[in-house]
Amino acid sequence: MNDQVEEMGEIGRRARKAAQVLATLSGAQRQKALASMPERLLAVKESLLAANSRDVEAALKSGQPEPMVKRLLITEKIFQYMLDRLREVAELPDPLGRVLEGQTRPNGLRVEKISVPLGVVGIIYEARPNVTTDAAAVCLKSGNAVILRGGSESLQSNLVLADAMSASLQENGIPADALQIVRSTGHEAVEAMLQMDQYIDVLIPRGGKGLIQAVARGTRIPVIKHYEGICHLYLAADAPEAMAVNVAVNSKIQRVEVCNALETLLVDQEAAGRLLPPLVQAFREKNVELRGCERTRALVPGLKAAVEEDWRTEYLAPVLSVRVVDGVEEAIEHINTYGSGHTDAIVTQNLPLAQRFVAAVDSGSVLVNASTRLSGGGDYGMGAVVGISTDKLHARGPVGVHELTSYKWVVYGDGHLRS
Amino acid sequence: MNDQVEEMGEIGRRARKAAQVLATLSGAQRQKALASMPERLLAVKESLLAANSRDVEAALKSGQPEPMVKRLLITEKIFQYMLDRLREVAELPDPLGRVLEGQTRPNGLRVEKISVPLGVVGIIYEARPNVTTDAAAVCLKSGNAVILRGGSESLQSNLVLADAMSASLQENGIPADALQIVRSTGHEAVEAMLQMDQYIDVLIPRGGKGLIQAVARGTRIPVIKHYEGICHLYLAADAPEAMAVNVAVNSKIQRVEVCNALETLLVDQEAAGRLLPPLVQAFREKNVELRGCERTRALVPGLKAAVEEDWRTEYLAPVLSVRVVDGVEEAIEHINTYGSGHTDAIVTQNLPLAQRFVAAVDSGSVLVNASTRLSGGGDYGMGAVVGISTDKLHARGPVGVHELTSYKWVVYGDGHLRS
């Protein structure tokens, strides 16, 4: 057994033990520990920034691409954001011990369904150090122990962050092992982590499609998957021009590299002649490359043709595919065929049309007269999230503190027997 | 591609299509279809019983073991039970379209979390024909299409059942493909089913541990697992004698071959001298073989010794392992080490002790002063269930109509943008 596998086994055993303690601590204790973390981070700010500089220098030296190095950097703004998120998560209502439902049965048996932690959550992620604080906070608030396996590029920063947060746990009577960082940067450590079904209850990979697929295929531990967002906006026949253009533009370019950004615009044939000209103008002003279906190109001369592959592509870039559809049914059909079940939207003033779209589009988030960029934990009032699930089982959409809980059935009798 | 694989692909495509229709039908329509099924079954009763006789004869001829043949047989009692269950599920409140939570955000955005079907459910099960009606009813009530792959031994019976139920669907405007039976009895059909992640949203294997493990290991489709029930009862120091004996005996022998039957009895050392003699007498009268730890055997001469393996065994037989423990903490430790997270119980009159036990035992059902046999969908007011999940994600404990739903976030704005 090599050192990495040995390290992982040790981490797993400790996490399981910590999870057992954590499961029965009070919400006040977890809250207090989380609330004390910003102060701890402020106290180690100097050594954190020094560690982060070492991470950044090493990344530059090893010739990492610029966007990756940029993601590594803990700027003052990001540092403040990390503190704010910790405070925000600390103050969320306790997700544990909620009576989700309950009744007294005809035979007098009192039956309650109570929220409890999942146990041990494993997070596998790439370069952003703020995921370390965000994800740890959400897991701990939900009473779970967490094992963090961040990108090797941010290890020095992550170690300082984790040490500070673990110290906060310990001074509040919570086992420091409730938050552990994997120090091994090699492949064997991740491989070992994927096999630890006796210690880890759920894995959450955060990163590109390749990472998520590799994790999902390589493990028997349940995985909460955060696949791509091929998001659609359907402009119905009656879509008001200003709202249609504003929602389309905001959905596409408010931030292009994120999962709830718009990738395909569907325009009703009855509205195409009216809406396409102002849409094309608005997108051209914003330097968005448009790729159109044949009907779109007939109305907008000089447009690049969209090919089959375009309908299946998450561009994450200033590119937008555009298709004219016969009506809401064709829009629904397109979305359920090519979409990724992440976020889709409609602009219409017609109530039955909106109802039909909402009922038939099979996606985690369906928005009416709102930008696709508004789908997410913050806008839904969930606070910090560890990702946006494209699964249908357990968690769908934003994964916050409630989505990291399970439940148990608790039954009180007075000597009740089965007859 | 062989015939079985081809059949499965066809079944999958049809199920997916039916699921899309089913997802937007009204609850009244699903209810009406289910409510009409008992009449349909009564109309085909003769051919059902004839088909069932053929199944039973074939099983006898091929030398199947007697308990298996017994499970195959549709007796009058079982037939009535099937009808009752269909009626019961039909009358359950609609699990779809529930607003699980909702709020209007400070920016005026209305956010709702709405229950929706999972899509297509695949059930892989063994010989009991009543699973065909039970599981189909629960899936359809939840708006899911269902693919049933029953034991080959019950195929003739299952085909008659499925035809009658499909006819009920069709006459109520629901695609008949919402309920399909796999006709291929070969191994390749199951293998193909496990690979159909584009068509099946969740697999539920019902049967022995071997079947469940084989399914879970052979697929990337999410699996709701129904593993064994190594159930415990802890008799606290203050457990009243009559209640202790009655709950222990009922938990063990009311029905020995089921997953919520008692397998290990934990007796507090302070109560052992008082409780073991009447317990031993009661179990001996019921012909239950006892296997004790050393401390138990010191108090009950002539008892067979329990070995390590006993603590890990789901007997499903009139055998019970007995251990004397130092107190509630040792009981909890034993249960969380050797248990299967299914169902565990305590008998005590001491409130803090009960609270500690309920909080620390990591099981789907934890009962206080009640028989372990009372854990389950019926006793929790859930109606028919398709199994009892030993997973922690998605569904834990009984899996009824609500556990076969997902949700979507529906957001209504008035041209809302992200700033």
- For the purposes of burial, counting CB atoms within 10 Å of the CB of A401, is it exposed (0-12), middle (13-18) or buried (19 or more)? buried
**pLDDT reported for residue A1:** 54
User: B239 with B347: CB under 8 angstroms?
Assistant: yes
Determine the residue of chain B that is closest to A381 in CA distance. Answer: B105
B286 near A CB under 8 A: no
Helices within B221-350 (DSSP H only): 241-253, 269-285, 294-299, 308-311, 328-338
Same domain, A323 and A207: no
- Could you list the pLDDT tens digit for every one of the 419 residues in chain A? 578 888 899 999 999 999 999 999 999 999 999 999 999 999 999 999 999 999 999 999 999 888 888 889 999 999 999 999 999 999 999 999 999 999 999 999 999 999 999 999 999 998 789 999 999 999 999 999 999 999 889 999 999 999 999 999 999 999 999 999 999 888 888 999 999 999 999 999 998 888 999 999 899 899 999 999 999 999 999 999 999 999 999 999 999 999 999 999 999 999 999 999 999 999 999 999 999 999 999 999 999 999 999 999 999 999 999 999 999 999 999 999 999 999 999 999 999 999 999 999 999 999 999 999 999 998 998 888 999 999 999 999 999 999 999 999 999 999 999 99
Same domain as B179, residue B114:
yes
Establish if A384 belongs to a structural domain.
no
ipTM for the assembly? 0.95
**Which of A365, A360, A361, A358 is CA-nearest to residue A343?**
A365
On whether any CB of chain B is under 8 Å from the CB of A364, the answer is yes
**Residue that the structure tokens 């966007």 belong to:** A67
Number of domains into which chain B is organized:
2
Which residues are CB-contacts of A251 (< 8 A; sequence separation ≥ 6)?
A: A231, A233, A261, A262, A345, A371, A372, A373
Do A335 and A287 have their domain in common? yes
Residue A382 lies in a domain: no
Specify the amino acid at residue B102: G
> Count of alpha carbons within 13 Å of B80, Cβ hemisphere only?
3
B262: closest CA among B314, B188, B300, B189?
B314
Return the number of other C-beta atoms located less than 10 Å from residue A302's C-beta: 8
Cα–Cα distance, B413 to A367 (Å, whole number):
8
Confirm whether pTM is higher than 0.90: yes
Residue A279's closest CA among A255, A260, A303, A256?
A: A303
> Which chain A residues are Cβ-neighbours of B392 within 8 angstroms?
118-119, 201-202, 406
pLDDT at A209: 87
User: B167, B118 in Cβ contact below 8 A?
Assistant: no
Chain A residue closest in CA terms to B407: A396
Q: Is residue B95 part of a domain?
A: yes
Report strand pairing: A120-125 vs A202-206. parallel
Contact A413 B362 (CB under 8 A): no
* Order of all β-strands in the sheet with A365-370: A304-305, A289-292, A319-325, A262-268, A231-235, A343-347, A365-370, B405-416, B110-117, B99-104
Question: For residue B285, is it within any domain?
Answer: yes
How far B40 CA lies from chain A's nearest CA (Å)? 31
Quick one: which H or E segment has residue B48? helix B45-61
pLDDT one-digit tens code per residue, B104-114? 999 999 999 99
Residues B76 and B109 in one domain: yes
CB contact under 8 A, A411 and B370: yes
Instruction: Read off the amino acid at residue A76.
Output: E
Q: Tell me, yes or no, whether B268 and B215 share the same domain.
A: no
Residues B261 and B404 in one domain: no
Identify the closest residue of chain A to B100 by CA–CA distance: A100
**B24 shares contact with chain A (CB less than 8 Å):** yes
With a CB-CB cutoff of 8 Å, which residues 331-360 of chain B face chain A?
A: 336, 347, 354, 356, 358-360
Cβ–Cβ of A222/B217 closer than 8 Å? Answer: no
**Which DSSP helix (H) or strand (E) runs through B204?**
strand B202-206
Which residues, including other chains, have CB under 8 Å from residue A161's CB and lie 6 or more apart? A41, A48, A129, A132, A133
Burial bucket for residue A37 (CB in 10 Å: 0-12, 13-18, 19+): buried
Q: Are the CB atoms for A232 and A339 separated by under 8 Å?
A: yes
Looking at the structure, tell me whether residues A155 and A295 fall in a common domain. no
pLDDT at position B212, please? 92
Percent of chain B surpassing pLDDT 70: 100
- Is residue A418, in this structure, part of any structural domain at all? no
Q: Provide the domain limits for residue A294.
A: 231-374
Q: Do B23 and A359 touch (CB under 8 A)?
A: yes
- Mapped onto helix, strand or coil, the DSSP state of residue B236 is coil
CA A179 from chain centre, in angstroms, equals 20
- For residue A381, tell me if it sits in a domain: no
Q: What pLDDT is attached to residue B91?
A: 95
Q: Do B293 and B220 share a structural domain?
A: no
Give Cα A263 distance to the centre of its chain.
Answer: 18
Q: Residue B258 sits in a domain of what CATH number?
A: 3.40.309.10
A368 near B CB under 8 A:
yes
Say which of B356, B363, B411 has its CB closest to residue A375. B411
- Reported confidence tier of residue B1, pLDDT bands at 50, 70, 90: low
Count the neighbouring beta carbons within 10 Å of the beta carbon of residue B107.
Answer: 13
Q: Is the pLDDT of residue B376 over 90?
A: yes
Residue B2 has pLDDT above 80, yes or no: no
| Domain at B117, CATH number | 3.40.605.10
Q: Are residues A262 and A216 in the same domain?
A: no
Alpha-carbon distance A185 to nearest alpha carbon in chain B (angstroms):
27
Do residues A222 and A256 share a domain? no
Of A368, A396, A414, the CB nearest to B411: A368
> How far apart (Å, rounded) are the C-alpha atoms in residues A326 and A58?
54
**Nearest CB to A396: which of B23, B368, B406?**
B406
Whether B152 and B287 share a structural domain? no
Position A388 in a domain = no
DSSP B100-146: EEEEE-TTS-EEEEEEEE-SEEEEEE-S-THHHHHHHHHHHHTT-EE
Distance CA B79, CA B45 (A): 9
Question: Do A27 and A94 contact (CB within 8 A), yes or no?
Answer: yes
Q: How far apart are CA A273 and CA B199, in angstroms?
A: 38
User: A410–B368: do the CB atoms touch at under 8 Å?
Assistant: yes
In eight-state DSSP terms, residue B378 is T
Flag whether B390 is in a domain: no
pLDDT digits (tens, 9 = 90+) for B122-154: 999 987 899 999 999 999 999 999 999 998 899
Which residue in A has a C-alpha nearest to residue B244's C-alpha?
A415
Residues of chain B found within 8 Å of residue A413, distances taken between Cβ atoms: 367-371, 374
Torsion sign, CA atoms B264, B324, B359, B345: positive
Model pLDDT, residue B186: 82
Contact A417 B364 (CB under 8 A): no
Averaged pLDDT score across all residues of chain B: 95
Question: CB-based contact (8 Å) between A416 and chain B?
Answer: yes
Distance CA(A290)–CA(A285), nearest Å, equals 12
Distance CA B82, CA B50 (A): 17
How far apart (Å, rounded) are the C-alpha atoms in residues B273 and B239? 12
The CA distance from B48 to B163, in Å, is 10
For range B36-45, the mean pLDDT: 98
Longest CA pairwise span in chain B (Å):
80
Q: Count of CB atoms within 10 A of residue A111's CB?
A: 23
Strand, coil or helix: what is B325? strand
Three-state helix/strand/coil letters over chain A: CCHHHHHHHHHHHHHHHHHHHHCCCCHHHHHHHHHCHHHHHHHCHHHHHHHHHHHHHHHHHCCCCHHHHHHHCCCHHHHHHHHHHHHHHHHCCCCCCCEEEEEECCCCCEEEEEEEECCEEEEEECCCCHHHHHHHHHHHHCCCEEEEECCHHHHHHHHHHHHHHHHHHHHCCCCHHHEEECCCCCHHHHHHHHCCCCCCCEEEEECCHHHHHHHHHCCCCCECCCCCCCEEEEECCCCCHHHHHHHHHHHHHCCCCCCCCEEEEEEEHHHHHHHHHHHHHHHHHCCCEEEECHHHHHHCCCCEECCHHHHCCCCCCCEEEEEEECCHHHHHHHHHHHCCCCEEEEECCCHHHHHHHHHHCCCCEEEEEECHHHCCCCCCCCCCCCCEECCCCCCCEECCCHHHEEEEEEEEEEEECCC
B295: DSSP letter = H
Domain match, A102 and A139 both: yes
* From A359, A360, A393, residue closest to B394, measured CB to CB: A393
Tokens linked to B88: 């019961």
Per-residue pLDDT tens over the stretch B177-210: 999 999 988 888 899 999 999 999 999 999 888 8
Most B CBs within 10 A among A224, A392, A412, hence the mutation to make, goes to A392
Q: What is the pLDDT of residue B111?
A: 97
